[in-house]
Structure formats: structure tokens, C-alpha cells
Structure 1
Amino acid sequence: MGYFPFFIDIKGKKGLIIGGGRIAEHKLRKILAYEPDITVVATKISDSIKSIEGVKFIEREFVNSDLEGCSFCIAATDDKKFNAYVAGVCRKYHIFINVVDDKDNCQFLFPSVYKAGNLSIGISTQGASPYIAADIKNRIAAELPLDIEQILDYLCSIRENIKAKVDDSSKRAAIFKASARRCMVLGRKLDDDELDEIIASVKENKSDEIKKGRVVIAGAGCGAYDLITVRALNAVKAAEVIVYDDLIDERLLEYALESCEKIYVGKRNERHSTPQQNINELLLAKANEGKYVVRLKGGDPYVFGRGAEEIQYLKEAGIETEEIPGISSAIAVPAMAGIPVTHRDVSRSFSIITGHTSGDGKDGEKTLHADIRNSAAMDGTCVYLMGLTHLKEITDTLMKEGKSENTPAAVISGGFDGTYKAVRGTLKDIVEKTAKEGIQSPAVIVTGDTVNMNI
């Protein structure tokens, strides 16, 4: 059979559901949001179905006359022969019929449905796999802006206003397109100034698309591509330019538009390939071209990611910005190794400290930051990022400042693909154990009693 996905208005249309059990209720609840006039007929109807408002109930055996005036019927009993009989009656009277678990007797199928206001998405595998249909529906729904219902209501509400302001039908179409695109990029409805800017731009033949640049500083999460947030992934999919770092999973770039410009500006420890000021200027230049720019950073942009510096620079230049949080390695990497950063009665706090050196020593000599020395007095869990090359200096400093040499310590490196390495020990022996295991950067150093938990 060839099932074409018509969208039919069933509001107020009379429909009959034959069956009073769980399956009948499942079908009933699927269509209630579309406001049909439903009658349920069965010898026994569950209390759960009877509790549904706005539905008529006939608790007796089905008779053919129950179908009078119906636009559609759903046969949902556990008697296959009876369901097939109902299907035959419906075909005789040209009433659309759906028979549960009997595709051959169906004239219409139930898709996996997502509904948000004026938006309806229906996915069908023609009965081959309802699970896959539901999975595809969920994936599509997850990629939509959270405010998609409000966006659609807004786009509907501005149509008459635009028609009154713009006589040229082609320009109206360009305005509708640009407005819709801008709403999807922003994930919200437009304010009056944003809409007026689009209208003016199209009326003056400047462009049929919005040309106001914008930069999103987005966290890509920790290592694996599927640890990015839905909001950040949506930004990647809409980006015209992606400026990305060293420690992201490059599979994320496959979600970008084919036309998207991808610019690598990776930096790692002492091997800076692109100075920060150059990155700032690049983001500004692309935004000034009217591009939607996504600055994709590993972990969280505000956890030693210099994201705040970039946003400050762009805001001072008058560029619209947004920050999207990401999963930080300071929490995720210890968790991967079975180390929670907090645990009741073990650690009620955690601190994230840079393991980088800074040129604040004598004659500009690079030394460990004072925060590392101060962390020796901290209770709870301490997480040191970007400190593997200075592991011996860090542990020696902590012990010198009074931290017990028996303080549990761990070093974890690798990703969420099962290739990670984790070494446990104490401040006294963790350097030796780490060297023996050949741990390499990037790695996270953890100290505190939660290291011993190994969940």
C-alpha cells in the first residue's frame, strides 16, 4: 500500500473507537489534542477511559448503526475476526478505518506524533517499526527551539501587519522567510526592532536575508560529540561560520550546513597556534560580515575557556552575543573514572583550579599560581585542569604547604569512548604512578577523599 501523509482537519468530526481497554485508550489519547467528536463503544469500558472529558461512551456491543455519520473508525478490540468484520462494514460505507495490529485492514495508520501548537509532526514506517518511528520523532523534536509554539504563533500574527506595510508579494515572501529564519536562529520570536530591520532591509533591496551579525560562544562538552547540549547543537546546525578549538570532537562539524565556513583556532598548553587577540578579531570580523558565528569550545566556555574575554570584546564592539554552557571536564572526567566531586559525608565542596604556570615569579619567571598553594588548606575535592606537565610541582607544593602526603590523588586522561586511563594514589606517589602508566595530556588531576570511592 502507498500511504500518503495527508494532514486532515478532524476538529469536530465524528469518530468511533470500538474497544474499551488499554489499546483503545492509547489511540484515543493520541487524537484528543485535535478535538474530534469521539464516541467509544464496547461491552466493558475502563474507568481510565471514562475519566476522559469530552468523550461519549456506549457500554454495549457494537452495532452497524453506530457508524452513522462517522468520518473515521478505530477497531481496537482483541478479537481479530471482529475487527476485520468492522473494517469490512467501514469500507462498504466509505468510512476510513484503522485496525490495531492489522495493517492489511487499515485505510489509515497512526504515525508517531509530536504536537506543539500549530506544529504537527508525524512519522510512520508503515508498521515496520513503531520504535524507529518514535525514535525519529524524538530526534526531530529535540532539535526544535524550546519556544517553537510561540515562534509559530508569532509568525502567524505578523502576516497581516506585513501585508499592510508591503505591497510587493515577492518582498513579502522575502520578509516572511527572513523572519522565520531569524526566529529559528535565535530560538525565540523577534522584537519589534528586529522585525522592522528585516522589513526595511528587504524594502530597500539590501538583502532578502537578515544581515546583523551575531556570535554564540558555545560549550561542546567534554570529549565525545554526544555530550553537547541540545541548544549548542542547534546553534552548530544553524551556523554560517564555526570557529572551533582543539579539544572538540570533530564529528560535531558534520552537523553543520554544507555552506558553513569552519575555522580551526586550536590551542593547547604551550603550543598556541592562534593568539587570543587574533581569535577575538576573527570573531568580530565575521560578525561584521553579518554572519551567524558559533565559537565552539571544549568543555564549558567559562571554565578556563576564555569565553568571557571573547564576549566582553565583542560586546564592546556592539556585537550581539550569547553564551551556551557546556559539560566541564572538571566534573565529567572524574565522574568517568568513578570519582564524584561531591558526596554526602565525604566531600561537601569542590574547587576547580588551573594547573598552568604564570609569569609572576622573580624576574618574570613562570611559577605555579598562588591558588594552588592556597588549595592545600581547602577541604573537599580539588580539581586541577591543564596541570599534567606540572604534576610534580603541584604535588610538592601541596605537601610543602601542609597537605598530608597520604591525601588521595588521581590523574585521569582520555575520552568517553572507553580509551581513558585513570591512575589512583596519594600526593606522595601519584607522580611516579602517572609516569609509569604513560598518562598524557589533556588530563585532570583530582585530590581529596572522593578519589577513593571508585564508584
Structure 2
Amino acid sequence: MKYYPIFLDVKGRDCLVVGGGEVGTRKAMGLYRSGARVRVISKTFSQKLETMSDICLASKSYEPSDLATAFLVFAATDNKDLNQQVREDATARGILCNVADAPDRSDFILPSVVERGDLVCAVSTSGASPALAKKIRKDLEQMLGPEYKDFLLLMANTRKKLLEEGHDPSTHKKIFTALVEKKIPELIAANDQTRIDSVLLELLGSGYEYERLVPQEQ
């Protein structure tokens, strides 16, 4: 089966997780990190969830009415019958549902993900081989180090500064293509700020120093 690849904006959306164990915790945390309003329904919760004040925990049995405002739902309990019931209730209401460990009964599946700040790489084998997806994810983690987080911050803040200064947006493509071709991530990894500033001066002129564009956490 082929899946339609999509990056979904769940910021500020009501998302429901039924199940407070290890699997439900992973689903809830992923939604939380993406800015969703997360509610978890379970009789018991993991220690991790118990510490999350920004995630709503409802210690109760699941009821169909719990789906009233849900944008999407994860059925993540260890009870297959309950998971199926959540799935059927969600389908009846036109709500997307993921059933833990049952991609054939889910509206969507979650890929293996590598995150480096704003850079998100998702890998899926359409359920054919999770082991291969995991292997490719690990390869990407080695290829794309933490320097890419700072590089994307550099690119974003450079674009913002250019726009604030009234530069012609039509010329930006050449600038950013050149920045990519200069292999700045490698310079960031080597902590070679002198060479980075030299590249920025060459392409952008003065006022675009690395330490200003990518302020380091104290």
C-alpha cells in the first residue's frame, strides 16, 4: 500500500490519545512537541505523562463522546477490542485515527523521524519493513548532525534580516543557493566561525556575522 506523504499542522488542535502506557506516551509527547492540545484517556498513566502539566490526563474509561472535539485520535491501549471501538467511533465521525501496531486498520501511520531543529526528515516503507525504516533513520542521524539545526537558524534569520532591510526577494534564491553550496554545516561542525563569517561577508556584506544570526544558548 502506498501512503500519501504529508506534514500535518496540529498546532492548537484538539488531539486525543486513548491509552496512557508506553505507546500512548510516545504518541502524546509527539503531539505535544508539535503544539497540539493533547488529552490522554486512561485508568493509569506513565510516570512521564504524570509529570506533564501541559497535557490533559483524564483518569476514566473511554466513551464515544470523548471524540467530540478531536481533530485526530490515537488508539494506543493494550486492548485490541477497545482500540477497534475507538477506530470505529472515529470513522463514524470523520476523524482520522491511528491504531497502535495495526497499520492496516489506521487512517495514517507515523514514519521514522530525524529532527534537527526545523529540519524534519521522515522515512516510511509503507509498513513493509519497519526495520529498514529504522536503519535509514539511523543513517540519516549520522549524516545530518546537530550542526544542521544551527544552519537552518542561520538561513531563517538571514532571510528575515534581508526582508527587514528591504532587499529584493527575487534575488534571495541565488544567495541561499550559494550559502548551501558553501558547505556551511561542515564549518559549523568544525566550530570555524572565522570562515563562516568570511563566507557571509562575501555573499551578504557586513552586518551578517554568525554570532548575531545564530545566538548561542547561555
Counterpart code for 2:128? A
Contact 1:97 1:106 (C-alpha < 8 Å) held by counterparts: yes
Shift of 1:91: 1.4
SS of alignment partner, residue 38 of structure 1:
strand
Alpha-carbon contact 1:145-1:187 (below 8 Å) kept: no
Given that residues 38 and 55 in structure 1 are in contact (C-alpha distance below 8 angstroms), is that contact kept between their aligned partners in structure 2?
yes
Measured after TM superposition, the shift of residue 42 of structure 1 is 1.6
Q: Distance in 1 between matches of 2:60 and 2:169?
A: 61
Any idea what SS the aligned residue of 1:125 has?
coil
Residue 56 of structure 1 deviates from its aligned partner by 0.7
Alpha-carbon distance in 1 for matches of 2:181, 2:12: 34
CA RMSD of aligned residues (A): 2.2
Deviations 1:214-259 (A, max 9, x none): xxxxxxxxxxxxxxxxxxxxxxxxxxxxxxxxxxxxxxxxxxxxxx
Q: Which residue of 1 aligns with 2:157?
A: 157
Higher relative contact order (CA 8 A, sep 6+): 2
CA distance in 1: counterparts of 2:167 and 2:36, whole angstroms:
38
Pair 1:92–1:72, CA change in 2 (3 A): same
Q: Secondary structure at the match of 2:16?
A: strand
Deviation at 1:106, TM superposition (A): 0.6
Give the aligned residue type for 2:143: E
- Equivalent in the alignment of 2:209: none
Instruction: Tell me the amino acid that sits aligned with residue 194 of structure 1.
Output: V
1:79 offset after TM fit, Å?
1.8
Once residues 102 and 33 of structure 2 are traced to their aligned partners in structure 1, the CA distance between those partners, rounded to angstroms, is 25
Q: Tell me, yes or no, if the aligned pair for 1:76 and 1:99 is still in contact at 8 Å.
A: yes
Residues 191, 62 of structure 1: alpha-carbon distance in 2 compared, 3 angstrom cutoff = same
Answer yes or no: is 1:101 the counterpart of 2:101: yes
Aligned position for 1:61 = 61
Answer with 59-68 or 44-53: which moved more: 44-53
Structure 1 residue 63, shift from structure 2 partner: 0.7
Deviations 1:68-105 (A, max 9, x none): 11111000112222211211111121111000111122
Q: Report the 3-state secondary structure (helix = DSSP H, G, I; strand = E; otherwise coil) of the residue aligned with 1:158.
A: helix
> Which consecutive residues of structure 2, in runs of 5 or more, have no partner in the other structure?
206-218
Q: Which residue is equivalent to 1:196? A: 201
Distance between the aligned counterparts of 1:114 and 1:85, measured in 2?
Answer: 32
Whichever structure has more strand as a proportion of its residues is 1
Structure 2 letter corresponding to 1:43: K
Instruction: Tell me the CA shift for residue 51 of structure 1.
Output: 2.2
| Residue 144 (structure 1) aligns with | 144
Shift of the 20–166 alpha-carbon distance from structure 1 to 2, 3 Å rule, reads closer
Count residues with an aligned counterpart. Answer: 199
Q: Is the 8 A contact 1:72 1:97 kept in 2?
A: yes
Cα deviation digits, residues 164-212 of structure 1 (max 9, x gap) = 464371x321111111232234346874442231247xxxxxxxxxxxx
| Residues in 2 aligned to 1:66 and 1:116: alpha-carbon distance in whole angstroms | 34
The percentage of aligned residue pairs carrying the same residue is 28
| Greater helix fraction, Structure 1 or Structure 2 | 2
Q: TM-score, normalised by structure 2?
A: 0.81
Alpha-carbon offset, residue 43 of structure 1: 2.5
Q: CA deviation at 1:136?
A: 0.6
| TM-score (norm: length of structure 1) | 0.41
Aligned-residue offset at 1:32: 3.0
**Structure 1 counterpart of 2:185:** 184
| C-alpha separation in 2, matches of 1:98 and 1:108 | 6
The secondary structure found in structure 1 opposite 2:180 is: helix
Cα displacement (A) at 1:5: 1.7
Q: Matches of 2:35 and 2:123 in 1, distance apart?
A: 20
> 1:2 & 1:174 partners in 2: Cα distance?
36
Unaligned runs of 5+ in 1: 201-455
2: CA distance, partners of 1:165 / 1:12: 32
| Deviations 1:257-292, CA, capped at 9 Å, x for gaps | xxxxxxxxxxxxxxxxxxxxxxxxxxxxxxxxxxxx
Alignment of 1:38-53 (within 5 A): 38-53=38-53
Q: Which has the larger radius of gyration?
A: 1
Structure 1 partner of 2:17:
17
Which residue does 2:83 correspond to in 1? 83
| TM-aligned CA distance change 1:48 to 1:168, over 3 Å | closer
Q: Supply the distance in 2 between the matched residues of 1:11 and 1:50 (Cα, whole angstroms).
A: 22
